[in-house]
Amino acid sequence: MSETATRLSAFAGLTLPAVRNRLSVTVAPDAIRYSLRGSPAAAAALGAVFGPVPSTTACRATSAGDRAALWLGPDEWYLLAPDGDAAALAASLSAAIDEPHALVDISHRNVGLILKGPRAADVLNGACPLDLSETAFPVGMSTRTLYAKAEIILWRTGLDTFRVEFWRSFAGYIVGLIAENAREHAV
């Protein structure tokens, strides 16, 4: 089974919820996903090859074109790139960094959803403890948090748009919770 088919199989048989015209939930585009651990200097060196220079500001994402780097900690970033040759990308990224670091391909493990619409923050807040108001969690903010009992990476990509990344084994659990929370907001 191809990597893409493996990732999409996490959503097989699941119905993604919609709340009239106030929420849409779609599977995020196929992507290469890396976990980068290293110093801010290592992240800056990687940015010269990757595109977006990973932010050293807490909880901020940077993006350039269809690539993104999400800050998860002082020495940790989550990298997203379009689906393609992961091994070649990893080699070019590692070659750009001349100090100790860890660059791990987690594409097979993680999948994502995009929640879009005026009720997206409300539906996410049904199981996420963060204040997702625009002032507390503005566009470009990203963090690792919980959605009920599942760890997620949450990134606000637009005023009413969020990208949620998580382990694919939690797909049924997370989609089920999103559907339940969406039903509560279907006034």
pLDDT at 100: 93
* pLDDT surpassing 90 at residue 67: yes
Question: Which helix (H) or strand (E) covers residue 37, if one does?
Answer: strand 31-37
Q: Evaluate the CA torsion angle 89, 90, 91, 92 in order and state its sign.
A: positive
Q: Which residues contact 34 (CB under 8 A, 6 or more apart)?
A: 78, 79, 81, 90, 93, 103, 104, 105, 106, 107
For the chain, first and last CA: distance in Å?
41
Structural domains in the chain, CATH included, are 3-184 (3.30.1360.120)
Average pLDDT over residues 33-53: 94
Contact (Cβ atoms closer than 8 angstroms) between residue 137 and residue 82: no
Q: Smallest Cα–Cα separation from 162: which of 145, 148, 176?
A: 145
Question: Beta-carbon neighbour count of residue 92 at 10 Å?
Answer: 13
> What confidence score (pLDDT) does residue 1 get?
38
Q: Residue 84 has what pLDDT?
A: 87
pTM, entire model: 0.91
How confident is residue 9, by pLDDT bands cut at 50, 70 and 90? low
Q: Determine which of 4-18, 94-108, 157-171 has the lowest per-residue pLDDT on average.
A: 4-18
On average, the pLDDT of the chain sits at: 90
Q: At what angle do helices 86-96 and 40-50 cross, to 10 degrees?
A: 130
Instruction: Give residue 6's pLDDT.
Output: 46
